[in-house]
């Protein structure tokens, strides 16, 4: 018999090598596998009969009774924690940092001054212009009173007014420049990073930001999802946020799905609101988004390793009570989706069927078993 099997395999391989049609080769190999499986099963039965074990030896197995339950299939996508408001703050004009008013971890308000740039030149210019404005204002007031009394010329009045207004504009410009030497926070939040140093030159073009302010009151998880899942990932869809480092899972829903697909990565951005105690999360913390794309509330499921494949179909062994004996019966099944080594059984089995889950590879159809 062994020689027959070997000759069959050699004949099949020779036929496959000489046949240019790959589909025909595949069909021939599948048929040969089915024949070999049948021959192997037959040999097992013959050996068992020769040893006198067919009716005398009972195989020990473990079984599981099928109970309908919830089955979910997820799309696993790596993401990261991000703040709704996280900003890098740079000076508006270049210069030496003279003062820093905050420390890392400090809470700040929008518009609060965080540091100052050297502004002595602007301050000196302002101090020069203020007395000139005071004089110009006094001259203007005198010329205005005289002009109202029809004394003096209109030209003198207009010159005084123009001088005063010109000095006011100069002072306003200098004050605006002084304000630009103050580095201010643009949001409410926490000082997360300070790159500025007293005595160091700061510039809007510096790669290291002078300050980073993060608002941790509202966090989200962002992820890039493959284009292939465009139909499954929709706003409002259920999702489970898993944070491996914290060993934490959070149920949430998708709050934003981008309409734009990145042409380089063929992905689109998805955002999920992160609720709960935000004090335990940190921006850029790694997460996994488990996006539900299929679910059934009354599914029959089995571990993937319980299901066997004959080449033509998938099958399992169930327990059958026959003539006072417990017999293993082969049942062909149709498998749906699988996730985390659990498969949904679409057809072939019914609730309360007792399926052999351990020892299934050592039994054949019709063999007596014990569980």
pLDDT tens digits along 29-69: 878 888 888 788 777 766 665 555 444 567 888 889 999 99
Domain, as residue range, for 258: 75-85+209-296
Judgement on whether residues 223 and 140 belong to the same structural domain of the protein = no
Q: What is the per-residue pLDDT for 4?
A: 44
Examine the domain organization and report whether 138 and 99 are in the same domain: yes
Burial track 196-230 (b if 16+ CB lie within 10 A, e otherwise) = beeeeebeeebeebbbbbbbbeebbbbbbbeeeee
Q: How many other C-beta atoms lie within 10 A of the C-beta of residue 239?
A: 25
Measured CA to CA, the distance from residue 117 to residue 206 in angstroms comes to 14
Quick one: pLDDT band at residue 276, thresholds 50, 70, 90?
Answer: low
Q: In this structure, how many other beta carbons lie within 10 angstroms of the beta carbon of residue 59?
A: 18
**Closest-CA residue to 348 (of 316, 310, 306, 309):** 316
Bigger pLDDT: 81 vs 55: 81
Shared-domain flag, residues 97 and 189: yes
185 in the same domain as 113:
yes
pLDDT band at 20 (very low <50, low <70, confident <90, very high): low
233 and 255 share one domain: yes
Select from 263, 259, 265, 264 the least CA-distant residue to 230.
259
Q: Tell me, yes or no, whether 9 and 39 share the same domain.
A: yes
199: left (phi over 0), alpha (psi -120 to 50) or beta: left
Residue 26: band (very low, low, confident or very high) from pLDDT cuts 50, 70, 90: confident
**pLDDT at residue 21, as a whole number:** 72
In a domain, 235, yes or no: yes
Domain boundary among 202, 237, 269: 202
SS3 content of the chain, % helix, strand, coil (to 5): 30, 40, 30
Q: Is the pLDDT of residue 7 over 50?
A: no
Radius of gyration of the chain (CA): 40
β-bridge mates for residue 242, sequence order = 249, 288
Query: In the chain, how many domains are there?
Result: 3
pLDDT of residue 39: 81
Same domain? For 123 and 196 the reply is yes
| Cα–Cα dist 289/76, whole Å | 6
Residue 215 lies in a domain: yes
Whole-number Å distance between alpha carbons of 144 and 135: 14
Average pLDDT, the chain: 85
Other C-beta atoms within 10 Å of 89: how many?
22
Domain presence at residue 21: yes
Per-residue model confidence as pLDDT tens digits over 242-261: 998 888 888 889 999 999 99
C-alpha closest to that of 197 among 188, 186, 206: 206
Q: What one-character-per-residue DSSP string does 212-266 give?
A: EEEEEEEEEEEEEEEGGGTTT--TT-EEEEEEGGGTEEEEEEEEEE-S---TTT-
| Tens digits of residue pLDDT in 128-164 | 889 998 898 988 888 888 877 877 777 888 888 899 9
Report yes or no on 358 lying in a domain: no
User: How far apart, in whole angstroms, are the C-alpha atoms of residue 243 and residue 250?
Assistant: 9
Last residue in a domain, options 264, 296, 328: 296
Instruction: Please tell me the distance from the alpha carbon of residue 176 to that of residue 247, in angstroms, as a whole number.
Output: 51
- Among 182, 202, 222, the domain boundary falls at 202
Torsion, Cα 107 112 113 114, to 10 degrees, reads: 20
The residues that bridge with 351 in the sheet, in sequence order, are: none
């Amino acid at each position: 018999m062994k020689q027959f099997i070997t000759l069959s395999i050699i004949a099949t391989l020779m036929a496959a090598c000489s046949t240019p049609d790959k589909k025909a080769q595949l069909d021939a190999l599948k048929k040969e596998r089915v024949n070999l499986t049948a021959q192997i099963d037959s040999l097992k039965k013959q050996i068992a009969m020769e040893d006198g074990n067919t009716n005398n030896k009972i195989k020990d197995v473990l079984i599981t009774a099928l109970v309908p339950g919830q089955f979910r299939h997820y799309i696993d996508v790596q993401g990261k924690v991000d703040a709704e408001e996280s900003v890098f703050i740079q000076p508006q004009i270049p210069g030496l940092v003279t003062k820093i008013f905050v420390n890392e971890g400090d809470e700040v308000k929008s518009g609060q001054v965080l540091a100052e740039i050297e502004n002595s030149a602007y301050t000196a210019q302002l101090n020069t212009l203020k007395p000139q404005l005071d004089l110009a204002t006094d001259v203007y007031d005198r010329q205005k009173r005289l002009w109202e009394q029809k004394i003096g010329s209109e030209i003198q009045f207009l010159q005084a007014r123009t001088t005063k207004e010109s000095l006011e504009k100069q002072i306003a410009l200098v004050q605006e420049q002084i304000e630009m030497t103050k580095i201010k926070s643009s949001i409410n939040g926490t000082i997360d990073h300070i790159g500025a140093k007293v005595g160091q030159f700061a510039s809007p073009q510096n790669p290291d930001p002078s300050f980073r302010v993060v608002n941790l009151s509202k966090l989200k998880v962002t992820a890039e999802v493959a284009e292939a899942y465009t139909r499954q990932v929709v706003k409002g869809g259920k999702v489970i946020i898993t944070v491996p480092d914290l060993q934490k899972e959070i149920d949430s829903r998708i709050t934003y799905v981008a309409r734009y697909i990145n042409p380089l990565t063929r992905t689109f951005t998805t955002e999920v609101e992160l609720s709960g105690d935000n004090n335990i999360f940190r921006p850029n913390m790694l997460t996994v988004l488990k996006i539900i794309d299929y679910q059934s509330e009354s599914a029959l499921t089995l571990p993937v390793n319980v299901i066997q494949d004959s080449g033509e179909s998938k099958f399992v062994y169930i327990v059958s009570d026959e003539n006072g004996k417990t017999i293993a019966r082969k049942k062909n099944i149709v498998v749906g989706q699988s996730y985390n080594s659990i498969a949904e059984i679409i057809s072939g089995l019914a609730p309360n069927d007792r399926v052999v889950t351990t020892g299934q590879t050592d039994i054949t159809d019709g063999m007596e078993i014990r569980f």
